[in-house]
Structure 1
């Protein structure tokens, strides 16, 4: 199957999930919405569980792509970290799967694939990756931290400054997660990040 057709099936599954609980989403309806046969859908994902894992994997990847985009933006490191925190809270607010991945709280409306890898016999490379281990909230914090270091550290940065930057990246990720669970009453997560980093600016 062409990658575009796989994406169309994942788009159809995501749209269906926005309208009804995952338990009520039918494979035949997802296939029809994407304009392919049900057999094609099963050939690509193997099962409804396989489709769920692929959908969750795609949303996790999309979130991390947004993190990289925020870190690559203009401005000093503090502003780029603030943008990363804003993206985290926005993505969690707008995408229930991203929110579940970040918090570990899966509502009954959502698929709840296990985070550990499952045995895969998929012939499709994308599905074999989806059948691998899915990121936990702690994994995502570490991924955001590591991306912050990679994006913000200048060549030749001393090891002590790299460690300090990693701590700042983790602080920002954890501040953002706290605002996902308990939104601030005033201002936004970017203000919290700026305030926290004003005492400890990134190297």
Structure 2
């Protein structure tokens, strides 16, 4: 039921925009999605399962945007995407920074036990990605997209540092927006240039 699953996740995201997660009711999410409450429970198992799937979906959408940014530009474009995504989406911001407000699902959502009655393909097993996990994923995707294969070891190491630097500058701009002109893209370009020449 992929369409029902997406409708339920959309309804949960909309509900979260209107009220704290503690105030989001499963019956309301199901009604907005146009499915029965039983379908919701069949799909996610519990409110915790719905929250975990919602956070994962938003993190996956952010990473898909990283891939697009890498195709369209470079590390500065990835940094700009990161800042824009975190400003627009509180779940992405929380996943990237580890700063979870009381309005959001708990970051300590536990994995669904493997004996759960929820089908394995619909469970969100395992822990949610930590900020360090997301930084590593963005760094590794950037390295892959920028073509490390076939480069000298020192060049590959420098590129890995540049990738991590770009993400970390973006995260600092998420926490404290930059003042002045140019924004995060300019900061990343200047930092990489300075690191390479120094």
Both proteins in one fold, TM over 0.5: yes
1:126 is displaced (CA, Å) by 3.6
1:77 match: none
1:42 match: 41
Q: What SS does the corresponding residue of 1:149 show, helix, strand or coil?
A: helix
User: 2: CA distance between counterparts of 1:45 and 1:113?
Assistant: 17
Q: What SS does the corresponding residue of 2:106 show, helix, strand or coil?
A: coil
Count of residue correspondences = 194
Report matched runs for 1:50-65 at 5 Å.
Answer: 50-65=49-64
1:123 match: 119
Does residue 21 in structure 1 map to residue 16 in structure 2?
Answer: no
Q: CA RMSD in A?
A: 1.6
Structure 1: where are the runs of 5+ without partners?
A: 75-79
1:111 to 83, 105, 108: 105
1:62-90 deviation digits (Å, cap 9, x = unpaired): 1111111101114xxxxx11000000000
2:145 match: 151
Q: Decide whether the 8 Å contact of 1:118 with 1:131 is kept in 2.
A: yes
User: 1: CA distance between counterparts of 2:155 and 2:134?
Assistant: 22
User: 2: CA distance between counterparts of 1:65 and 1:192?
Assistant: 23
1:160 is displaced (CA, Å) by 2.2
1:119 is displaced (CA, Å) by 2.2
Structure 2: where are the runs of 5+ without partners?
A: none
TM-score (norm 2): 0.92
1:192 match: 187
How has the CA–CA distance of structure 1 residues 156 and 139 changed in structure 2, closer, same or farther, with 3 Å as cutoff? Answer: same
User: 2: CA distance between counterparts of 1:3 and 1:179?
Assistant: 36
Report matched runs for 1:151-190 at 5 Å.
Answer: 151-153=145-147, 155-187=149-181, 188-190=183-185
Q: Decide whether the 8 Å contact of 2:20 with 2:102 is kept in 1.
A: yes
User: 2: CA distance between counterparts of 1:142 and 1:159?
Assistant: 19
Does residue 86 in structure 1 map to residue 104 in structure 2?
Answer: no
TM-score (norm 1): 0.90
